[in-house]
Each structure stands twice: as structure tokens, then as C-alpha cells.
Amino acid sequence: MNLKSRFLLLASALIVASSLASWVVFERIAERIIERWGANIAEIQVRYDSARLLQNIEREVGLAQQMSDSDVIQRWARQPGNATLKAAAIEEMERFRHNFADHNYFLALKDSGAYFYNNAANGFAGKQLRYHLDPNKPADAWFYQLIEQRRDFHLNVNPDEALGVTKLWIDVLLKVDGRIVGVAGTGMDLEPFLQNIVDLEQPGINTLFVDYNGAIQLYRDRRYIDYASFVKPEGQKKTIELLLDRPADRSWIRQTLDRLREGPEQGYRVETGFVTVDGKSHLAGVTYLPSIGWYEITLLDLDVLLPLATFAPMLGVFSVALLLTLLVFNIAIRRQIIDPIISLEAAMERVRLGDLSPRKPSPRSDEMGRLEQHFDVMASSIREHTRQLEETVRERTDALNRLARKDHLTELLNRRGMNELLAEEFQRFRREHRTFGIVWLDIDNFKDINDTLGHAVGDGVLRQIAASLRTCIRPYDHAARWGGDEFLVLLAPCDGDHLQGIGERIRRTVESAVETPAITVSIGGALAVPDDTIENILQRADDALYQAKDNGRNQFYIAEGGQLTRIS
Ligand SMILES: Nc1nc2c(ncn2[C@@H]2O[C@H](COP(=O)(O)OP(=O)(O)OP(=O)(O)O)[C@@H](O)[C@H]2O)c(=O)[nH]1
């Protein structure tokens, strides 16, 4: 995999990883914000609902207490058999009836079980003594339980069987000189109460009130309300735990209720925590209402109140910003690093393949630019080095070529060099009909010199003859040592006169120039003729040379028109 693909893969992996990480972090942050916000909302909601409830109830509780503390009623309670006091007490209760919210009251006496009641319609005027309570009747159990529990006041949600409605009863103990003599209070219709306090159309917010036992007293789902709660044995009450799915939540709510009640002096302290209701997580806000001995619990469904989707635009902006950053980063890395590396690699490949042509100089001055400059300097020194090497090789080759065509002893051309020149000249002769001539000479009795004077002297003679030849030929003629003691001269251009003149000059020059020892040469000459071949010309010159030798040496013959003519 190349660098670009690997980087793309790495960038993609980074995008995926950072998106996942961002999502997780975002969820955590959002959840924390929602939690904190939810806790505040729960607290506000709890205070608000509590205030609304207490507003309605506290007044009734106060009135009920005033009624039971009333002197008139107290006097009668001391002497329940006194008809005058009784009439005054009923009159007093009737006054209170007008003040109670639902315009009804009740008063029950412990000793006699006498139960007095009148309603909003004043339906029992003159016959307020309704009936006598019976400790053996389950419907009257509330009264005896209340007295037994000695609770100064109590709120009791209980159906009124006689009226066929459910009421929230406000029960206050009637005490005379510290002795409980009965219970007095009023009843409020539960339905409007529920509608006002817990039935409000607030999506995601569920409010309920539970008593000191945790038994549900006010809740929008009437099936969960624990009617006549306090007369039921433990274990049969419909408590808040019924709503909670998880055992951990049930124990948390119980501990929270206990904790909140331990410090009533702290007033409306609100505790919050997450609980699961009907399979959904809710934020529960709990507070204790010491004035009525109940708790309020507000359940907030945060998914409804502040769905995570609310944060979607934020997540969107964040994701787009992240993607753009990575994209820009990717482009920057490609531009700054990967592309220059690829271009540098291509340049190296070109150098490897022998293309040493200079590159356009890099305009960059950073590390990458310096790397490119270093490479360019290196490529240029390779280029220079190669150029020098090629020049040296060319020079050496030329020298070798020259050496290969040169006779080392005489420094004339050797036979190979002369053959090449002959071939070239013959081509020119064919092409341009420029006639050329050959002069072939052989030292006379050279063997004797070697034998008598030594090989070194023989070599000296060969060099002297070479020197003589150089003086006899024209600048554009060529002389070669043909082999042993034979020399060949190429005369081009040449005609019969030149051939004769130069051949004769050579013979005489050698004869006069090389005196110690006295040396002569025999010479054969020939001119190229139409339809000639190199072999034929050489053969004719050789024939002429042979004739010169044969005729006594130190002579010059020319082969011409099939004849051998002695020149000198
Ligand atoms: N010193 C020396 N002698 C050479 C060299 N090359 C050939 N020779 C000798 O040249 C002699 C050539 O002799 P030939 O051409 O056969 O005979 P010649 O003695 O010249 O007699 P003719 O040619 O008949 O006049 C031989 O003895 C070779 O050994 C060389 O480079 N140096």
C-alpha cells in the first residue's frame, strides 16, 4: 500500500475514532447537562407543587385545629351530655363549616362514638348527629386507629361511602386537658384536588404525594392510591415502591424518605436521583412536607422534557467542524508532505533510469523544500560527475582507438589503421572518382642488419625510415607500417605523376638519409583504376614491389595497365 492510501486510511480511521469518541463525550456532557438541569427543574417543580398543595391544605388544617381548640367545643367536650353546650358547639361547628373550603365538617367523640357531620348543602341541619361509630365496624376503623396512633392531625384519603365520593379527610385530634376525646375536621373532594395538583397536563412531569409510610395518597393513576392507608396492616399498603422497577431504586427511595424526615427543621430540602419507572429512566425529586407529614415526589421523564435530539444541531456543528478540520489537515499533509515525497520519488526514479535533466527548483524553504534542494544538488553533482566520466571515457576510447591504429615502434599507422583508411578512401574513390595511389616499400636485406648489427639497430632503422616517409609525403597523405620491414603509403588524391614523384622521392630520401648502416628500399606503386578493388590495387603494388626486389633492389616500379614500369 502506498503512502497516499495509507494516509487516507489513517485519516479515515482517525475520523471514525474521533467521531465515536466525540459522540461518547458529547453524550456524557449532554447527559450531565440534562442531569444538572433536571435536578434544578425537579427542585423547582417540587417546590411549586408542594406550595400549591399546601396552599390548599394548610388552611384547612389550620381551620380544623382552630375548630378543635375552640373554647365552645372544648367546654362541650368536657360535658358531652350538656345539651346547652352541645347546641353552642354545633353552632360553632356550623360557623366553621362556612369557612371550610368544601363547607363541611365532622366531629366524632371517643367515649360515645357520636359522629356529627354537616355538608355544603346544609343537608343535615338540626340532625348533625349522624350516627354512632362502632369499634367493630371496619368502616369506622379509621377513627379508632387515629386515636390509637395519637397523631395530632392526619390526612386521610378515604371514600365516603354514604356520598359515593372519595375525600381527602383532614383529621385533627380533639384534646381536652391533654386527653384525646375525639377527632374533628373536614373532608375535601379528592377529584378536583387531584385535577388541580397531580392531573396537570405537563408532559414528562409526574407528581405524586405519599404519606409518612410511603403509601401513595395523591397520584394521577387512581388505581395506585392507597385509600384509608393508615388502617391497613403493613405490607398491604400501596407504597411508592410499587411504581419502581428496580430493587436498588426501591431501597434508595425508602432511605431518602427516612433521611428527609430525620431533619424536618431543614424545611423543604429536595433530594434527586434517577429511578426506573415503567422501564424508563426518570429523575425523581423528593421532599418532605413536615406541616402535613407527607412527601412529594416528582418524576421527570428527561427524554420527554429535554430529548437528546435537542443537542443534535450542536452535535451536527461539532461533527462538521471535526470533519472539516480533518479534511483541511488531510489536504495540508498531502500538499506539504505526501505530494512532495511522491514528486521526489518520481525524480529519483527518473535519475535511476538515467534522466539527469534538472528539475524546476522548489519554491519552498521548509524542511521539505530543503530536502528537495539537497536532492537537486545531489542530482546535479551526479549529472556533472557523469558528464566528466563520459568525457573521460570518450577521451580514453579515442586514445585507445588511436593506439589500436598506431604502430608503437615508428608511431606511424599500423596495418589495421591503414586498412580502415584504405576502405574509406576506396569508398570515396567509388563515390567521387577521386583517384588514389599506393606506394608499398620493403627494406632491402633487413634481415642481415638484424643478424649482423642486432635487433635494436634494426628497430632504429625502422624509425629512421618512418621519419623519412614523413618528410616525403604531403600533409594529407598517410604512411603506415604494414608489417615487419614493409611500409605502405596512401596518396590521395593522386595521379601518375604524383605517384612517380613521391615514390621516387621516398626511395632517394631513404638511400641518402639512412647511411649507417646504408639502407635502401624497394618500392612498388599502383593507382586505383575504374572497377578496381582494394585487393587488386594492393596486388598490383605488391607485384611491382616484387619486380623491384627481383630486379636487384633499391628500385621503384609502378604497375600500370597490366605492365610493370621501372621508374628508377
Ligand atoms: N629489428 C627488427 N627487425 C624486424 C622487425 N620486424 C621484422 N624484422 C625482421 O625483418 C626481416 C625481414 O626480412 P625479409 O624481408 O624476409 O628479408 P630481407 O632480409 O629484408 O631481404 P629482402 O626483403 O629480400 O631484401 C626479418 O629478419 C625480421 O626478423 C622489427 O620490428 N624489428
- Which among 35, 32, 41 is positioned nearest to 206, based on CA atoms? 41
Q: Is residue 441 located within the same domain as residue 494?
A: yes
Separation CA 415–CA 423 (nearest Å)? 12
Which ligand 1 atom sits closest to the C-alpha of 486? Answer: 15
Q: Is residue 422 located within the same domain as residue 489?
A: yes
Confidence of residue 422 (pLDDT cuts 50, 70, 90): very high
155 pLDDT above the threshold of 60: yes
> In this structure, is residue 141 part of a structural domain?
yes
> In this structure, is residue 440 part of a structural domain?
yes
pLDDT at 43: 82
Indicate if ligand 1 lies below 6 Å from the C-beta of 462: yes
Q: Is residue 425 located within the same domain as residue 547?
A: yes
Domain range for 491 = 415-566
Q: Is residue 294 located within the same domain as residue 242?
A: yes
Confidence of residue 48 (pLDDT cuts 50, 70, 90): confident
Q: Is residue 386 located within the same domain as residue 498?
A: no
Residue 315: which H helix or E strand, with range?
A: helix 312-333
Average pLDDT over residues 425-437: 94
> In this structure, is residue 227 part of a structural domain?
yes
**Highest-confidence range of 211-215, 346-350, 545-549, by mean pLDDT?**
545-549
Residue 137: which H helix or E strand, with range?
A: none
263 pLDDT above the threshold of 70: no
Q: What residue owns the CA closest to ligand 1's atom 7?
A: 484
Separation CA 48–CA 487 (nearest Å)? 135
268 pLDDT above the threshold of 80: no
Residue 534: which H helix or E strand, with range?
A: helix 534-550
By most ligand atoms within 8 Å of CB, the mutation choice from 412, 445, 446, 514 for ligand 1 is 446
> In this structure, is residue 405 part of a structural domain?
no
Question: What ipTM, to 2 d.p.?
Answer: 0.97
Residue that is written with C-alpha cell 348533625 in the block? 128
Q: What is the pLDDT of residues 65-105, one digit of tens each?
A: 999 999 999 999 999 999 999 999 999 999 999 999 999 99
pLDDT at 457: 93
C-alpha cell belonging to residue 92: 360553632
Which residues are registered as beta bridge partners of 215? 239
Higher pLDDT, 484 or 330: 484
When mean pLDDT is compared across 151-155, 231-235, 384-388, 430-434, the lowest value belongs to 231-235
Q: Is residue 84 located within the same domain as residue 126?
A: yes
Query: What's at 517, amino acid-wise?
Result: P
Final residue of a domain: which of 306, 339, 361? 306
Q: What is the pLDDT of residues 497-541, one digit of tens each?
A: 999 999 999 999 999 986 768 899 999 999 999 999 999 999 999
pLDDT at 19: 77
pLDDT at 163: 65
Indicate if ligand 1 lies below 6 Å from the C-beta of 450: yes
Q: Is residue 543 located within the same domain as residue 420?
A: yes
Query: What residues contact 217, with CB distance under 8 A and at least 6 apart?
Result: 155, 157, 168, 208, 209, 210, 211, 225, 226, 229, 294
CA-to-CA dists, residue 519 to 388, 443, 553, angstroms: 49, 7, 11
C-alpha cell belonging to residue 319: 461533527
Indicate if ligand 1 lies below 6 Å from the C-beta of 271: no
C-alpha cell belonging to residue 41: 427543574
Confidence of residue 304 (pLDDT cuts 50, 70, 90): confident
Q: Is residue 320 located within the same domain as residue 299?
A: no
Q: What is the mean pLDDT of the chain?
A: 89
Average pLDDT over residues 551-560: 96
What CATH number is attached to the domain comprising 152? 3.30.450.20
Q: Is residue 555 located within the same domain as residue 480?
A: yes
> In this structure, is residue 1 part of a structural domain?
no
Q: Is residue 169 located within the same domain as residue 249?
A: no
Q: Is residue 424 located within the same domain as residue 548?
A: yes
DSSP type of residue 58: H
> In this structure, is residue 400 part of a structural domain?
no
CA angle 262, 264, 266 (to 5 degrees): 110
415 pLDDT above the threshold of 80: yes
515 C-alpha vs ligand 1 centroid, how far in Å? 18
DSSP type of residue 152: S
Q: What is the pLDDT of residues 445-458, one digit of tens each?
A: 999 999 999 999 99
Q: Is residue 52 located within the same domain as residue 79?
A: no
> In this structure, is residue 168 part of a structural domain?
yes
Separation CA 174–CA 155 (nearest Å)? 15
484 C-alpha vs ligand 1 centroid, how far in Å? 6
Confidence of residue 321 (pLDDT cuts 50, 70, 90): confident
Burial class (CB in 10 A: 0-12, 13-18, 19+), 17: exposed
Final residue of a domain: which of 167, 192, 217? 192
pLDDT at 310: 74
Separation CA 496–CA 438 (nearest Å)? 11
246 pLDDT above the threshold of 90: yes
Q: What residue owns the CA closest to ligand 1's atom 27?
A: 447
pLDDT at 229: 84
By most ligand atoms within 8 Å of CB, the mutation choice from 450, 521, 523, 545 for ligand 1 is 450
Indicate if ligand 1 lies below 6 Å from the C-beta of 437: no
Final residue of a domain: which of 306, 327, 360? 306
pLDDT at 191: 85
In degrees and rounded to multiples of 5, residue 562 shows phi and psi of 80, 5
Residues of the chain with pLDDT > 90: what percent? 56
Query: What residues contact 266, with CB distance under 8 A and at least 6 apart?
Result: none
**Highest-confidence range of 34-38, 39-43, 98-102, 139-143, by mean pLDDT?**
98-102
Cis peptide before 80 (omega within 30 of 0): no
Q: How does strand 129-132 pair with strand 216-218?
A: unpaired
Q: What residue owns the CA closest to ligand 1's atom 2?
A: 458
Query: Is 131 within 8 Å of 124 (Cβ atoms)?
Result: no
Separation CA 266–CA 257 (nearest Å)? 14
Indicate if ligand 1 lies below 6 Å from the C-beta of 461: no
What CATH number is attached to the domain comprising 461? 3.30.70.270
Indicate if ligand 1 lies below 6 Å from the C-beta of 449: no
Helices (H), 353-495: 367-404, 415-432, 446-453, 455-472
- Cα 312 from chain centroid (whole Å): 21
Residue that is written with C-alpha cell 409510610 in the block? 213
pLDDT at 162: 65
- Which among 291, 564, 522, 542 is positioned nearest to 438, based on CA atoms? 542
Average pLDDT over residues 50-76: 91
> In this structure, is residue 2 part of a structural domain?
no
Q: What residue owns the CA closest to ligand 1's atom 29?
A: 447
Q: What total number of domains does the chain contain?
A: 4
Indicate if ligand 1 lies below 6 Å from the C-beta of 446: yes
Q: What is the pLDDT of residues 214-224, one digit of tens each?
A: 999 999 898 99
When mean pLDDT is compared across 346-350, 406-410, 505-509, the lowest value belongs to 346-350
